[in-house]
Each structure stands twice: as structure tokens, then as C-alpha cells.
């Protein structure tokens, strides 16, 4: 004889519960007292126990449904038992769609968010919230507490936002609700309220700790002008991007040979030998057009790709790091790029560089090879989506026809913003760049 399990009353005030999760599947053997499913009341999540032993024959209600108390939710009986008649009337007349608003079943008055509207306003039929949607009770609670469902991580099945997630959600100011960005667990506003600034620049809230005293003489250098700009840009870069660095090497044989030829004969034909960096810039400028996803800015709500190549070049100066821009490098020869880098570097070192020469880059190259660095992790020049770090030329063993050969190779480190660019396309760009560098004589001639 099959037994119909009804949703038990959960205290006097609870009229309905959300089925958060079925703990037993149809066909599972159950013992009396086993948890059948988890349901959520307005106060807690509780387990509904099986009221008989046997096999779970029917789940009368779906996960996420709002079920009135004392209505059937399951049938337990013997395997193969026909239970079609058992639920007949009740189930079909009382099925509540998961997306039906439950306003009619509650007596909770509209809270402040009901006045101001916004993302948490009562939306019949909708299932706002995280990717898993939200339970009707969670939506009610969100309205009452003024919580933005869009920013709440669901802890229910498949990321379903349930009521306790709302209870744990941080309070936000009206301006913070309207702002975009991540929601920290605790904000810097009144009694930990999340402010607009907390969402826009999470790290701005963190003030540097006061340092403990250190024995001996100290020198305090005020952080201002270029150092201040660098500090802000670097912190912004690290705090607003998802940085991933890919490392590889390119054989430098062709570059070395080309430079040797320039040195040997170039001057007699009026050509100065390009530096390693000039050649790398050229290779980058010639490779980027085939990879528009790399020659791009990540702007949060959009990725902006550029048809022209404007290369930022990191320059070390006494006052600090500066990044002047070689405009339209895609259309310039290696000699033009070389001359321009030289004059920009001089302007930076002399403090004569103009603001417009320091902005408008689409991709940046930074080179520490001359200082003996083999590999490093460049920090993105935001909002650029990628930056190339160039290391020094070292001998690397390769297996050749006559056994192991040592071939001069140059290290390449590409940091990408994984928010906007994935590892594989970035790796394909690096592969193409390696090919261009290894055939640099052809690239120069092209």
C-alpha cells in the first residue's frame, strides 16, 4: 500500500515552503525517517522526512517549487505499484509553477526596495538572481531587505539563490546598487554597508597599514608625480584584471645574423643597425594585424579591437617607468620605429615628453633583456588586453641533426587579461610572433 507524503506544517505562520533540493530520486529505496527533500521556510531550511519505508515512486513537486503546507509532495510504496490515482485531484489542481510570485501567500509588506524600484523589485514570472535563478521566497526577502539579487551568490541547487543567501547578503547603499562591479562581503560605509566606491574600486578601500618601527636610519620618499601615477596604475591593473602570463622562447639566430649584416655593411649604405628591441617591435607590429583580439582594450562591458597598431614602449627613466607610444607602428619600417623609440626615450629621460606621446597605445612591449633578465611577468598596461615582456638572449639547447646544439634564444612573456582573452588564442599569437622573429630578415624585407 503506497503512502502519500505531505509537506508537514512548519509552525503556525508558515503557509508554504520552497523545495530547495530533492535528497532522494524516484526509484531510490527509502527508510521511514530518511530525509526526502530539503525545504526552505521563511526562517530556515529543514529536511522533510519520509513517513514510510519503501521505494520513492513519485516526486509530486519539482525542485524550486513553492508548495503549500499539508499538500502531497511524494509517494512511497512498493516498486512497480500503480499510484496514478493517489495524487490525481490534489496534484493537478495545486501545482504551483516555480516562477509564480508568491506575494498572495505572504503578508510581508513591501520594503524600501519596493519604493525605489531597481533590480530587486517584485518581478512576476521572472527568476532574477545568479545563474541558477532565485526562489520566490528569496525574491520576497530581497525586496524587503533592499538587496540586489543580481549580486547574490546562490547556495541552493545549481546556484539557486535561496532566502538564507539574502539574509547573508551585504547591505548596499542606493548608489552602490546602481553601480556595477563586484560586491565585497563587507563595505566601508555605515556599519559595513557596501558603497558605490567599494564596488567600483575594491582596493581603494584598503589603506596601507601603518608600518611598525624599524631600527636604524630611515629615508621617507613622498609618493608623488610619476611615482604616484605608476602606483595607481599598477594597483588598478592588478586589482581590476585577471592576469595570466604565457612564456616561450624564439630562436634569435636570424635577428643576430641580420644585425651582424647591418653592422658589417649597413653603415656603408647609410643604414644604422636596429636594436633587438626595434626588431621585436617590428615583429609585434607585423603579427598583431592577424590577431585583433590581442590588439584590444578590455573595457568591462565590451572589448574594443583596433585596426591600427599603436605600440607602448616601456622606458626606464630616473624619475620612474614611462610608456611612450609609437603611433601607427603597423605602417612603419624598422628604421622608422627605431628612430622614433630613440627620440621618445630621450624625451622621457629629459622630461620633455608630451602627454599625448604617453597615451593611445593598443599594445605594450617591455624589455628587460639588456639587464640580464630571462623571463618575467609583465603587468598589464590597462585597459590593454595584453603586454609582451622581452627577456635577454641566452643559449638554449636544441636537438639538431648533429646532436644537441646551443642556439641563442630570446625569451618572450605575454601577460593577458583573461577576462577578455583566453590562453589558447594568446598562445597562437605568441606562436606567430615566434615565427616572425625567427624569420625577421623576411619580415624586415616585406
Partner 1 sequence: MSEIYDLIVIGGGPAGYVAAERAGESKLKTLLIEREEHLGGVCLNWGCIPTKTWLACSKLFYQASHGAAFGVNASNLTLDFAKVQERKAKVQGQLRQGIKGLMRKFGVTVVQGTAKLVAAGKVQVGETVYEAKNVLIASGSRPAKPPIPGLDGANVVDSSGILSLSALPKKLAVIGGGVIGVEFACFFAQVGVAVEVIELMPEIGGAIDPDCARILREELSAKGVSFRLGYKVQKVDAAGVHAVDGGGNAVHIPADLVLCSVGRTPNTENLGLEAAGVDLDRRLIRVDDQGRTNIPGVWAAGDCCSRIMLAHVASRQAEVVVNTIAGRKDRMRWKAVPGVVYASPEVAGVGLTEAAAKAEGTPVIVAKWPLQANGRFIAENDGKGLVKVLFHATDRRVLGVHIVGGAAGEMIAGAATAIEAELRIDELAEVIWPHPTVSEAQKDAIYPLLHH
Pairing of strands 386-400, 363-367: parallel
58 binding partner 1? (CB under 8 A):
no
Asked if residues 143 and 120 have their Cβ atoms less than 8 Å apart, the reply is: yes
100 binding partner 1? (CB under 8 A):
no
Compute how many other C-beta atoms are within 10 angstroms of the C-beta atom of residue 115: 10
Of 77, 132, 154, 189, which one interacts with partner 1 (CB under 8 A)?
Answer: 189
Binding segment for partner 1 (CB under 8 A), chosen from 95-103, 206-214, 362-370, 380-388, is 206-214
For the bound state, the minimum distance from the C-beta of residue 152 to partner 1, rounded and expressed in Å, comes to 19
Asked if residues 19 and 63 have their Cβ atoms less than 8 Å apart, the reply is: yes
173 binding partner 1? (CB under 8 A):
yes
Q: Which is nearer to partner 1, 179 or 345 (CB)?
A: 179
What gap in Å lies between CA 437 and CA 292, rounded to an integer? 19
**Residues in a beta bridge with 405:** 398
Q: Which is nearer to partner 1, 140 or 198 (CB)?
A: 198
Residues 130-159 that bind partner 1 (CB under 8 A): none
Q: Which is nearer to partner 1, 214 or 446 (CB)?
A: 214
- Mask for 239-278, x = binds partner 1 (CB under 8 A): ----------------------------------------
What gap in Å lies between CA 195 and CA 187, rounded to an integer? 6
Asked if residues 246 and 427 have their Cβ atoms less than 8 Å apart, the reply is: yes
Residues 110-129 that bind partner 1 (CB under 8 A): 115-116
212 binding partner 1? (CB under 8 A):
yes
300 binding partner 1? (CB under 8 A):
no
Of 92, 93, 207, 307, which one interacts with partner 1 (CB under 8 A)?
Answer: 207
190 binding partner 1? (CB under 8 A):
yes
Binding segment for partner 1 (CB under 8 A), chosen from 207-215, 233-241, 312-320, 353-361, is 207-215
370 binding partner 1? (CB under 8 A):
no
The count of chain residues that interact with partner 1, using the rule CB under 8 A, is 22
Q: Is 300 left (phi over 0), alpha (psi -120 to 50) or beta?
A: left
178 binding partner 1? (CB under 8 A):
yes
186 binding partner 1? (CB under 8 A):
yes
For the bound state, the minimum distance from the C-beta of residue 120 to partner 1, rounded and expressed in Å, comes to 15
For the bound state, the minimum distance from the C-beta of residue 196 to partner 1, rounded and expressed in Å, comes to 6
Q: Which is nearer to partner 1, 179 or 321 (CB)?
A: 179
For the bound state, the minimum distance from the C-beta of residue 348 to partner 1, rounded and expressed in Å, comes to 24
Q: Which is nearer to partner 1, 124 or 213 (CB)?
A: 213
For the bound state, the minimum distance from the C-beta of residue 187 to partner 1, rounded and expressed in Å, comes to 10
- CA separation (Å) from 299 to 263, 332, 379, 408, 420? 44, 28, 17, 39, 9
Q: Which is nearer to partner 1, 227 or 435 (CB)?
A: 227
Binding segment for partner 1 (CB under 8 A), chosen from 40-48, 204-212, 243-251, 278-286, is 204-212
What gap in Å lies between CA 288 and CA 371, rounded to an integer? 26
For the bound state, the minimum distance from the C-beta of residue 139 to partner 1, rounded and expressed in Å, comes to 22
Binding segment for partner 1 (CB under 8 A), chosen from 167-175, 277-285, 304-312, 349-357, is 167-175
Of 33, 192, 289, 351, which one interacts with partner 1 (CB under 8 A)?
Answer: 192
What gap in Å lies between CA 432 and CA 357, rounded to an integer? 29
223 binding partner 1? (CB under 8 A):
no
Compute the CA torsion angle 432, 438, 442, 446 (nearest 10 deg): 30
For the bound state, the minimum distance from the C-beta of residue 199 to partner 1, rounded and expressed in Å, comes to 10
How far, rounded to the nearest angstrom, does the alpha carbon of residue 374 sit from its chain's CA centroid? 29
Of 79, 185, 211, 404, which one interacts with partner 1 (CB under 8 A)?
Answer: 211
Residues forming contacts to partner 1 in the complex (CB under 8 A) are 115-116, 173-176, 178-179, 186, 188-190, 192-193, 195-196, 207, 209-213
Amino acid at each position: 500500500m503506497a503512502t502519500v507524503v505531505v509537506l508537514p506544517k512548519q509552525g503556525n505562520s508558515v503557509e508554504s515552503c520552497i523545495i530547495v533540493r530533492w535528497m532522494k530520486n524516484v526509484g531510490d529505496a527509502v527508510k521511514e525517517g530518511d530525509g526526502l527533500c530539503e525545504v526552505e521556510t521563511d526562517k530556515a531550511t529543514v529536511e522533510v522526512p519520509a513517513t514510510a519505508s519503501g521505494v520513492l515512486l513519485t516526486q509530486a513537486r519539482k525542485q524550486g517549487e513553492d508548495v503549500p503546507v499539508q499538500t502531497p509532495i511524494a509517494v512511497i510504496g512498493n516498486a512497480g505499484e500503480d499510484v496514478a490515482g493517489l495524487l490525481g485531484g490534489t496534484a493537478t489542481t495545486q501545482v504551483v509553477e516555480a516562477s509564480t510570485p508568491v506575494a498572495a501567500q505572504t503578508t510581508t509588506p513591501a520594503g524600501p526596495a519596493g519604493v525605489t524600484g531597481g533590480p530587486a523589485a517584485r518581478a512576476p514570472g521572472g527568476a532574477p538572481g545568479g545563474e541558477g535563478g532565485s526562489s520566490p521566497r528569496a525574491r520576497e526577502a530581497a525586496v524587503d531587505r533592499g538587496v540586489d539579487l543580481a549580486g547574490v551568490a546562490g547556495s541552493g541547487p545549481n546556484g539557486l539563490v535561496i532566502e538564507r543567501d539574502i539574509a547573508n547578503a551585504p547591505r548596499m547603499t542606493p548608489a552602490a546598487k546602481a553601480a556595477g562591479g563586484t560586491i565585497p562581503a563587507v563595505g566601508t560605509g555605515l556599519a559595513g554597508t557596501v558603497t558605490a566606491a567599494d564596488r567600483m574600486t575594491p582596493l581603494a578601500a584598503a589603506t596601507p597599514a601603518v608600518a611598525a618601527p624599524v631600527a636604524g636610519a630611515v629615508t621617507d620618499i613622498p609618493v608623488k608625480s610619476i611615482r604616484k601615477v605608476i602606483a595607481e596604475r599598477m594597483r588598478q591593473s592588478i586589482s581590476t584584471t585577471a592576469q595570466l602570463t604565457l612564456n616561450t622562447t624564439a630562436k634569435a639566430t636570424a635577428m643576430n645574423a641580420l644585425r651582424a649584416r647591418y653592422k658589417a655593411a649597413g653603415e656603408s649604405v647609410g643604414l644604422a643597425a636596429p636594436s633587438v628591441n626595434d626588431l621585436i617591435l617590428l615583429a609585434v607590429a607585423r603579427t598583431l594585424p592577424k590577431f585583433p583580439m590581442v590588439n584590444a582594450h578590455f573595457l568591462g562591458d565590451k572589448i574594443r579591437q583596433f585596426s591600427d597598431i599603436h605600440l607602448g614602449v616601456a622606458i626606464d627613466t630616473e624619475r620612474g617607468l614611462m610608456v611612450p607610444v609609437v603611433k601607427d607602428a603597423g605602417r612603419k619600417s624598422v628604421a622608422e620605429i627605431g628612430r622614433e623609440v630613440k627620440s621618445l626615450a630621450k624625451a622621457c629621460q629629459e622630461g620633455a615628453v608630451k602627454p599625448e606621446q604617453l597615451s593611445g597605445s593598443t599594445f605594450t612591449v617591455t624589455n628587460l633583456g639588456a639587464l640580464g633578465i630571462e623571463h618575467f611577468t609583465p603587468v598589464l598596461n590597462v585597459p590593454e588586453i595584453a603586454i609582451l615582456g622581452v627577456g635577454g638572449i641566452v643559449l638554449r639547447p636544441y636537438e639538431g641533426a648533429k646532436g644537441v646544439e646551443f642556439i641563442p634564444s630570446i625569451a618572450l612573456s605575454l601577460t593577458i587579461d583573461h577576462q577578455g582573452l583566453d590562453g589558447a588564442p594568446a598562445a597562437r599569437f605568441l606562436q606567430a610572433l615566434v615565427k616572425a622573429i625567427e624569420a625577421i630578415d623576411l619580415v624586415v624585407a616585406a
